[in-house]
A and B are shown apart, each in its own frame.
Chain A
Amino acid sequence: MLLIRCPFCGPRPENEFSHAGEAHIARPPDPAAVDDAVWTDYLYTRSNPKGAQAERWRHSHGCGRFFNCLRDTVSDRIVATYLVGQKRPDAE
């Protein structure tokens, strides 16, 4: 079980959290203005990297808030957690 540092509540066990997929995927501001390919990318296409991944978590059994996390998908080591809207940190 991962130990995840919620930016609001501190380190908590993984089962207090919900994984919410890849981070930094911006919703097209005007959906009607983009074609189906762009919308498909937004909805479904994912990087699924082997290595450093920026992802969203929600502290669903805690403060309930979303935040971002940089984690290595090979070692599962968490490099950093950070607030939504902040820039993705370097993966060292």
Chain B
Amino acid sequence: MRFSFATLLRHAFTGNTWPEQWRSPEPKSAYDVVVVGAGGHGLATAYYLATEHGIRNVAVLEKGWLGGGNTGRNTTIIRSNYLQDASAALYEHALKLWEGLAQALNYNVMYSPRGVLMLAHNEHDVRVFHRHVHANRLAGIDNEWLTPDQAQQFCPPLNISADLRYPVLGAALQRRGGVARHDAVAWGYARAASALGVDIVQNCEVTAIHRDASSGAVAGVETTRGPIAARKVAVVAAGHTSVVMAMAGVRLPLESFPLQALVSEPIKPVLPCVVMSNTIHAYVSQSDKGELVIGAGTDAYTSYSQTGGLHIVTHALEAICALFPTFRRLRMLRNWGGIVDVTPDRSPIIGLTPVPGLFVNCGWGTGGFKATPGSGHVFAATVARNEPHPMAAPFGLDRFRTGRLIDEAAAAAVAH
């Protein structure tokens, strides 16, 4: 079924329940490609395998429910103002796909380019942000410098008083940045991929990766719903990547940390853009439901607990209250954690592995949501062609051996 104004109108008058938007088939005994992880990145990978490469005999296996990991736990911020050429190109590729995604999927992902304002609070911030703005503009990516007054004009509730412990000295603004509806992204990709023949199998945990005894190549996976043969296995398991890859004997430069977020009670529209502050550590936007969506930092220690310390959240709220004194009276409704896989250079790992037929897309750390369409797009090409997509090539696993790291610790925003 295609969504259109006519179908919405017809549905409004007939009042029937909407049909399920994707199939839930029993897993087959063999596929051309098995994708491990039905988050945004995994589903996007399957979708682009089907649309761009004609590979439709694909299963996406999910140990929990679709989009229930970091896809459903992040703060949905989208931007592409990264410093290094390789990452700017990759995130900008994703941003361009975001702009046409709702049309391509025939599903409203609610992409809202309302602007991402990144605040500078000290001389060092000011210089670093100027450097970012210049680097981005040379790379053809929009980013501009605002004075404190201009920042407040763009975001009226922002406190630019000189009395702040860390006063706002200016801000970098990417106007094309913004937010999207995280669940809709997973659902839209799932629906489109399923319609093309991709099997999405939930409640199906991978428990082992089978390898051919003579060649060592991937032969399939063992799951809680039986064995599934596949010549290509693409692991997109975010915080659990180390666990899954260990099943094939592959060790990675990853550490998994809890990252927390929280939402306030819903209020009328008050915050017109996304505001981020690396230095005093907070980021906030307002959802269409009216809740303030607030991101905190990672915990100090590695963990798979999907919870974090209250002091981390408290720290973020103190920063929010300093920047937006009017938010002091708000109550917080929910708080949760997700497990993010962090690399030494804060850039993702996309590509082939030492095991033939085994591919990995991981290490997105605290900022993977924004890359969802681009990540799936270049990873699908990598899996289909058995060689890195040109845009993914710099993000290969071998960069840790060659030393060609892509250092984005400053652009990743979240302190970790």
Binding site for B on A (CB under 8 A): 1-2, 14-15, 17-19, 21-22, 36-37, 40-41, 43-50, 53, 55, 71, 73-76
Contacts and interface: CB of A to CB of B under 8 A. Distances in A.
B69 to A, nearest CB: 14
B243 to A, nearest CB: 5
Contact of A47 (B242, B344, B402): B242
11 contacts: A15-B311, A17-B300, A40-B253, A45-B253, A47-B242, A47-B251, A73-B256, A73-B303, A73-B304, A73-B305, A76-B301
Contacts of B8: none
Contacts of B402: 36
Contacts of A46: 242, 251-255
A76 B254 contact: no
Contacts of B309: 1-2, 14
Interface of B: 240, 242-243, 251-256, 300-305, 309-311, 341, 344, 400-402
A72 to B, nearest CB: 9
A34 to B, nearest CB: 12
A75 B305 CA distance: 6
Contacts of A19: 300-302
Contacts of B301: 2, 19, 55, 71, 76
B401 to A, nearest CB: 5
B311 A48 contact: no
Contacts, number: 70
Contacts of B311: 1, 14-15
A31 B240 CA distance: 31
A55 B252 CA distance: 17
When A and B form their complex, which 10 residue pairs have the shortest distance between CB atoms, in order from nearest? A44-B253, A48-B242, A19-B300, A19-B301, A40-B401, A1-B309, A44-B400, A50-B304, A45-B251, A50-B243
A1 B310 CA distance: 7
Given A1-B311, A74-B305, A36 B300 contact: no
A45 B310 contact: no
Which residue of B303, B309, B341 has the most chain A CB atoms within 10 A of its CB atom?
Answer: B303
Nearest to A74: B304
A41 to B, nearest CB: 8
A48 B254 contact: yes
Contacts of B254: 46, 48
B344 A44 contact: yes
A14 B243 contact: no
Given A36-B401, A45-B400, 20 more contacts: A1-B309, A2-B301, A18-B300, A21-B255, A40-B253, A44-B344, A44-B400, A46-B251, A46-B252, A48-B252, A48-B254, A48-B256, A48-B302, A48-B341, A50-B242, A50-B243, A55-B302, A71-B301, A73-B256, A75-B305
B196 to A, nearest CB: 33
Contacts of A49: 242-243
B240 A50 contact: yes
Contacts of A15: 311
A76 B309 CA distance: 11
Nearest to B243: A50
Contacts of A40: 253, 400-401
| B253, B302, B400, B402: residue with the most chain A Cβ atoms closer than 10 Å | B302
A47 B341 CA distance: 12
Contact of B401 (A37, A47, A50): A37
Nearest to B257: A19
B207 to A, nearest CB: 13
A18 B243 CA distance: 25
Nearest to B341: A48
B255 A48 contact: yes
Most buried by A among B254, B300, B305: B300
B146 to A, nearest CB: 34
Contact of B303 (A17, A21, A76): A76
A89 to B, nearest CB: 18
A87 B247 CA distance: 26
A18 B299 CA distance: 11
A15 B302 CA distance: 15
A73 B254 CA distance: 14
A43 B399 CA distance: 13
Contacts of B300: 14, 17-19
Contacts of A53: 302
A21 B301 CA distance: 8
A43 B310 contact: no
Given A1-B311, A18-B300, A73-B302, A45 B401 contact: no
A88 B76 CA distance: 41
A1 B300 CA distance: 10
